[in-house]
Amino acid sequence: MDLSKPVDYIERTTLQYSALGYEPYQWAHRPDQPPWTPLRKPLSNSTIALVGSGGAYREGQVAFHWKDDTGIRHIPTDQPAGDVRVTHFAYDLEPARSDPNIVFPVDRLNEMVAAGTIGGIAPEAIACMGGIYSARRAEEELAPAIVGAIDAMKAAGEVDLVLLVPV
């Protein structure tokens, strides 16, 4: 791999899925993106919900399956990232297993709370496995599950903003 050039994500993903024996990857394109929404209050007064797509889960939870697992896991944010495990089919797991903050930065967010940079972190984070091959399942199963979990946090007054950490 030539590290002096940017990674062509579309080409690389297409080749990766082809190597797994799948049909060509069908990219989901949404031209109707939501409008930019400015912050309603300063970050230092805002509570952040963490949503990570790196396949994080806690001991005792079912690990994500390698193919089209559209489930979500609720992970307490008062626990250190060292208690988080990761599994995923689309990236090298060794660095994230050494430091889960790479894909699930709960320790970094808690440090930002302690420093006063952000007001707080929601009591639970949402974890999922990105790279779902089925765009239909991602739209019909995964996205509604994430939105439902965030909406429940918002209704409970636990969250002002969402930080999505994609993989």
The whole-number average pLDDT for the span 152-164 is 95
Query: What's the pLDDT tens digit per position in 86-140?
Result: 998 877 889 999 999 999 999 999 999 999 999 999 999 999 998 787 888 888 9
Q: How far apart are CA 130 and CA 126, in angstroms?
A: 12
Name residue, tokens 């992970």. Answer: 75
In the predicted structure, residue 152 carries a pLDDT above the cut 90: yes
More confident residue, 138 or 7: 138
Query: Does the pLDDT value for residue 147 go beyond 80?
Result: yes
164 near 48, Cβ under 8 Å?
Answer: no
Is the confidence at residue 27, as pLDDT, over 80? no
Phi first, then psi, for residue 156 (nearest 5°) are -85, 0
Query: Can you read off the two tokens belonging to residue 48?
Result: 């952040």
The CA distance from 94 to 69, in Å, is: 21
Beta-carbon contacts of 85 under 8 Å, excluding residues fewer than 6 positions away, are 56, 57, 58, 59, 63, 97, 100
pLDDT score, position 162: 96
Q: Given pLDDT bands bounded at 50, 70 and 90, which one contains residue 1?
A: low
Q: What is the pTM of this model?
A: 0.82
To 10 degrees, the CA torsion angle through 131, 134, 138, 140? -170
